[in-house]
Structure formats: structure tokens, C-alpha cells
């Protein structure tokens, strides 16, 4: 059966009528033609399909589109434009944080979310008094990015890029 769902994608209201079994990933790629979000394994193993939903990253292949009625969704297309890259996108370019590029949108959405997770976790008196970026250890980034696989093995450059933005 089909159902209507209304998503806010990259700041725009998008109404969809989808099969109730349609994943959020397929809704983005096939219904909304936002092909920046990639399909790797389609079963929650690789992270290529990572998008940000209400400020938290998820694997969009594991979620049904109809579960996201009213949700705020950010995909790689919503983070920056070719003329005005998001700082994380710029850092990936600078540090060659990719080879084939297939995992990159998911890596970047995940990385943006990781920094938010860590910022939210620091005690407020520290951030308020010092007005500094949180200290990120490379191990912590590596651990939190472990759901995003890169078959080319560009991990060290990916870590450098994220560390530059958040470290």
C-alpha cells in the first residue's frame, strides 16, 4: 500500500506518496532525485547512505520514509554548494579524504554529526568559559566513524580532515 509523507529535506518541504516499504534512502534517491546519498550495502553495514535526521545521523537504508513524516533531513546536497563548501567538505578536499568518492557523502554527513555529538557532550562550563573547540582525540573520532566504511582505505586522510575541523 502507499502512504503520504511530508519531509523537510535541506530546508524544503517535500510531499511524497510512497509505497509504505520504501526506505528513506530510496525516497531520497529515486523519488526526490537527490542522488548524493549513496547506496552501498542497503543493509546497515557500510554507512554510505548516512544522512542527518533532526540533528542525528542515521543509515537511511534502515529506515522507512513514512517513519519520517515531519522530520528535518539534511543530505550532502544540503550541507554546501560547489561555490560555498561546508567546512567539512572543504577539509575533505584539502586532505584528499577520498579516492573513488562513493563513500564520501556518507562520511561527511557522519563527520558533521560526530562533531555535534561531541560538542553536545562537553560540560557546558568548559565550552562557555573557554570558548574553544572541544578537544577531539583521533581515537574518539576513529571510534565514532567506525560505521562508515571506505573500500579504498582513505581512512588516514579522512581522519586528518575531520581532525582539522573538530580537533
Positions in the binding site for ligand FES (CB under 6 A): 39-42, 44-49, 59, 61
In the complex with ligand FES, the residue whose CB is nearer, 57 or 95, is: 57
Kindly state the smallest distance separating residue 68's Cβ from ligand FES, in Å: 15
Residues with Cβ within 8 Å of 156's Cβ and at least 6 positions away in sequence, in order, are none
Kindly state the smallest distance separating residue 25's Cβ from ligand FES, in Å: 6
In the complex with ligand FES, the residue whose CB is nearer, 62 or 90, is: 62
Kindly state the smallest distance separating residue 61's Cβ from ligand FES, in Å: 3
In the complex with ligand FES, the residue whose CB is nearer, 33 or 125, is: 33
Kindly state the smallest distance separating residue 66's Cβ from ligand FES, in Å: 18
In the complex with ligand FES, the residue whose CB is nearer, 76 or 165, is: 76
User: Is the separation of the CB atoms in 16 and 56 below 8 Å?
Assistant: no
Amino acid at each position: 500500500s502507499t502512504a503520504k509523507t511530508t519531509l523537510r529535506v535541506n530546508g524544503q518541504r517535500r510531499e511524497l506518496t510512497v509505497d509504505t516499504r520504501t526506505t528513506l534512502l530510496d525516497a531520497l534517491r529515486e523519488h526526490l532525485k537527490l542522488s548524493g546519498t549513496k547506496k552501498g550495502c542497503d543493509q546497515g553495514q557500510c554507512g554510505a547512505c548516512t544522512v542527518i535526521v533532526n540533528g542525528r545521523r542515521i543509515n537511511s537504508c534502515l529506515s522507512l520514509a513514512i517513519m519520517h513524516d515531519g522530520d528535518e533531513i539534511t543530505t550532502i546536497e544540503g550541507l554546501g554548494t560547489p561555490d560555498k563548501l561546508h567546512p567539512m567538505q572543504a577539509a575533505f578536499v584539502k586532505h584528499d579524504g577520498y579516492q573513488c568518492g562513493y563513500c564520501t557523502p556518507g562520511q561527511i554527513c557522519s563527520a558533521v554529526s560526530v562533531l555535534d555529538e561531541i560538542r553536545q557532550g562537553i560540560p557546558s562550563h568548559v565550552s562557555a568559559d573557554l570558548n574553544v573547540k572541544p578537544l577531539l582525540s583521533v581515537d574518539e573520532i576513529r571510534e565514532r566513524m567506525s560505521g562508515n566504511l571506505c573500500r579504498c582505505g582513505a581512512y588516514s586522510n579522512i581522519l586528518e580532515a575531520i581532525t582539522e575541523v573538530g580537533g
